[in-house]
Homo-oligomer: A and B are copies of this chain.
Amino acid sequence: MKIFSEELVAQVAQELHITDIERASIGEVLLIAQTLEQRTGIPFIRMDQGSPGLPANMIGRAAEKEAIDKGVGQHYPAAAGIPELKNATEKFIKAFMNLDIPAKCCLPTTGSVAASFGSFIICTQLDPKKRKVLFIDPGFPIQKTQLRVIGAEWEEFDIHDWRGAALEDRLEAIMKGGEIAAIVYSNPNNPAWICLEESELEIIGRMATKYDAIVLEDLAYFCMDYRRDLSHPYEAPYPPTVARYTDNYILMLSSSKIFSYAGQRAAMACMSPKLFDRTYPTLAERYHDAGHFGTTFIANVMYMITSGVTHSTQFGYAAMYEAAVRGELNFVEDTREYQIRAARMLEIFKRHGFTMPYDADPTMGPVEGGFFFTVGYPGLKGGELMKELLYYGVSSISLSTTGSDQQGIRGCTSRMREEQYAMLDERMAEFNKDHN
């Protein structure tokens, strides 16, 4: 039996000016769930927004407070970021990716959102023929709206049917026109939690070099593929990255998920050293500077957007990277809780007739889920499933809003609490009974 009537949900949606629930954005689903909770007193199982469900890292918090006490709030942070954070990032990347990216190529940004926003801007300004961004979907809807903001275009495709060697044909078909300025994806993937493997990243890297496009690799869920133990600094295995296969890349690291630091808005954009030192006449002309990629990105693009990243937060972030490098902060174990939650939630969903739209990687095998996972239900399209689940007190987002062609929803484990598993079980039993 439904917990919230169709009439009530429709009424709340109308009050919130949401015209089509099936196509609702994360923010809209969140508002519907919050409003229904407030109005009825019945708690939702909130699988919508990916806000960290673990306390913000204590090492970062302590260092941030110390920086405030020292008085850093008074001074503008250096445009290129504080040396402490830049150096810590260089070490962190060496320790956990086995890559050599000098500190000067590592720029703090106000979240990965600012990193991708600024990267989209500069990448689409390098060559007048290259104005499009290619999304290897499913992905983060915000990045497409960012392109609407700056007036750039995009191409997209669902990776689902193009895993492994097939990826090359798909990329070739899209890129041969020479219009692609940048390629973007997240790995592990938001929302599907699939992980692109070395062989796939090799293809992406090779094609980026061939067509001179820049890969924006979003590592928001860095090392959160728990199928392998990636938690030891300076020890293999290392997570796969396109940086091993091309010089055209910007890696986007974030503090939000791995350190549960989303509220403080801090990430790093780490440029390939070769890209950093490339010179573009188009940039020189536009910005009246020397056209040096790294300098222009820092001083004439990112500095113009926020003039730096909150000073105290940079010190907190630096302390967390340093502690991780020293082996004193195990961010992989700290966030493994999400894997445990995903396993328990997926078990419940599957027991009640749900399937997994993205269920395997080519060689790494079954997708386990972590911060996110995907589920579908036979006979229901993604938007329908999302809407139906609302009636049973479960909020999520439709995969169709993420550039996916698969029918299902994205669930997020971050807000799950111990007492909610039984509730989820009951509610999904009812759902299955009503839909079977």
Chain A positions near chain B (C-beta within 8 angstroms): 17, 27, 49, 51-52, 54-56, 60-61, 64-65, 68-69, 71-77, 79, 110-111, 113-114, 117, 121, 142, 145-146, 148-151, 256, 260-265, 286-287, 290, 299-301, 303-313
Contacts and interface: CB of A to CB of B under 8 A. Distances in A.
Nearest to A25: B299
Each complex incorporates copies of this chain amounting to 2
Contact of A74 (B79, B121, B260, B305): B260
A26 to B, nearest CB: 10
A372 to B, nearest CB: 15
A4 to B, nearest CB: 24
A262 B75 contact: yes
B265 A308 contact: yes
A110 to B, nearest CB: 4
Contact of A111 (B52, B69, B79, B307): B307
Nearest to A149: B304
A82 to B, nearest CB: 10
Given A305-B114, A306-B113, A312 B264 contact: yes
B148 A286 contact: yes
Nearest to A51: B76
Contact of A52 (B60, B74, B299): B74
A188 B110 CA distance: 29
A278 to B, nearest CB: 16
A188 to B, nearest CB: 19
B110 A110 contact: yes
Contact of A263 (B60, B304, B312): B312
B76 A145 contact: no
Given A68-B65, A148-B286, A148-B300, A305 B264 contact: no
A74 B287 contact: no
Given A61-B73, A149-B300, A150-B150, A265 B306 contact: yes
